[in-house]
Amino acid sequence: MASRPQQGGRPSGTRFAQFKLVLLGESAVGKSSLVLRFVKDQFDDYRESTIGAAFLTQTIALDDQTTVKFEIWDTAGQERYKSLAPMYYRNANCAVVVYDITQAASLDKAKSWVKELQRQANENIIIALAGNKLDLAESDPSKRAIEKADAEAYAREAGLLFFETSAKTSENVKELFTAIAKKLPIEQASQRGGMRSAAGGRPGGVDLGNRQAGGQTTAGAAGGCNC
Partner 1 sequence: MLPTEQHRPTSQSSSSPNPIARDRYGFKKASHHISVQQYDAWNALYTEHLSRRSKKWHILMKSYGLNTENPFRFPPKSDKIKRYVRKGIPAHLRGAAWYWYAGGPGRLAKQPGLYAELLERVGRGALSDNDREHIERDLNRTFPDNVRFKPDAASMSDVQAGAGGGDEKKKKQRRSVGEAETPIVKALRRVLQAFAVHNPGIGYCQSLNFIAGLLLLFLDEDEEKAFVLLEIVTSVHLPGTHGIALEGANIDIAVLMSLLKDLLPPVWTKLDDKGGGVVGDPAAQSLRLPTVSLATTAWFMSLFVGTLPIESVLRVWDCLFFEGSKTLFRIALAIFKAGEHQILAVNDPMEIFQVVQAIPRRMLNVNGLMEVSFRRGRGNGFGGVSQSDIERRREERRKLVREGVARTQGGAMLRWKGRWRSKTRG
Q: Which residues bind partner 1 (CB under 8 A)?
A: 1-4, 27-28, 32, 35-36, 39-40, 42-58, 71, 74, 76-88, 90-91, 103, 120, 133, 136, 196, 200-202, 205, 207-213, 215, 223
Least gap, CB of 188 to partner 1 (angstroms): 19
First to last CA, the chain: 29
Nearer Cβ to partner 1, position 68 or 155? 68
CB 198 within 8 A of CB 189: yes
Nearer Cβ to partner 1, position 4 or 156? 4
Least gap, CB of 25 to partner 1 (angstroms): 13
Beta bridge partners of 98: 25, 130
CB 18 within 8 A of CB 74: no
Q: Which residues contact 162 (CB under 8 A, 6 or more apart)?
A: 128, 129, 130, 131, 151, 152, 155, 156
Nearer Cβ to partner 1, position 57 or 152? 57
DSSP secondary structure letter of residue 189: H
Nearer Cβ to partner 1, position 48 or 157? 48
Least gap, CB of 21 to partner 1 (angstroms): 12
Nearer Cβ to partner 1, position 152 or 169? 169
Which residue in 94, 59, 73 sits closest to 185, CA to CA? 94
Least gap, CB of 122 to partner 1 (angstroms): 12
Least gap, CB of 157 to partner 1 (angstroms): 25
Nearer Cβ to partner 1, position 156 or 211? 211
Q: Which residues contact 25 (CB under 8 A, 6 or more apart)?
A: 31, 77, 97, 98, 99, 106, 109, 110, 113
Least gap, CB of 10 to partner 1 (angstroms): 16
Rounded Cα gap, residues 218 and 91, in angstroms: 18
Apex 42 CA angle, 186 and 32, nearest 5: 70
